[in-house]
Structure 1
Amino acid sequence: MAQYWIELIGCGNYSLRQIERPYRLDDPWEISILNIYQMLRQEAQQRNRIMALVYGYYLGEIIQLSVTPRDKWKEFARENKILNEYYFYLGATRTYQLFEKDSKRMYQTLTLTFKAISRMKKSDYRELLQYGNSVADDE
């Protein structure tokens, strides 16, 4: 956990060009979320750590745009036969919350992964989120 705390301080470099939001707000929610989900899966399969975090962040962002985020995600997952839907939901919403105040910090991480965020114990995640928010507030 301490390793992830250090990363939130911003010790890494910007090695990738930051990508813009991969959807438009006027696009239908279902199309936008499907595209982002597919990009996340592709980047995760290719073990592209930072891009998986980025697409996880945007997936979390678009999930939160819904009036009933969890229900809307469950419906989407059912319609698209998504296995491990809770893993993706938890990872996306946690990644979004963690980097919501400063999304540029994702590009500075050295080892933090979407998978690690998804599988983190609730207590560990809360600690990391609290620490991340305090770091963002100090900047």
Structure 2
Amino acid sequence: MKRIAALAVVLVFGAFPAIAATAMTGKELTALLSNGKELTLGGPKEGYAGMLSISKDGTAKGQVKLDNGDVILIEGKWHIAGNKFCRTWKGGRDAGKEICETWNKAGPNSVRVMNGKRDLGLNSW
């Protein structure tokens, strides 16, 4: 019985990395965002926290507050291209550049945001 319980624990916890590495598809991103969505950005242990209001017209607006107290305003345009969320923000470190992100499922209502191999943080809704 203990072996069965141990195997169940391994199977359950072993499944989490697979879930975390599963990227949202373009269809999933469209279903999630096409009517607009309020996203929570970052959180505990992420180094920042904030909100982003995604509008169905392809615009977005919000802000994040870094753990050091600095506030970064976010505003710009977004669209889905293939299986990626692409954005062009007016400010921040990549101002004016189109950044296309992969959103890897981290839970039922959260994703790890990746740009290539670079982890950009956590989004949840």
TMscore range, shorter length: under 0.3
Larger relative contact order (CA 8 Å, sep ≥ 6) = 1
Structure with bigger gyration radius:
2
Q: What's the TM-score, normalizing by structure 1?
A: 0.24
Decide which structure has greater strand share: 2
Decide which structure has greater helix share: 1
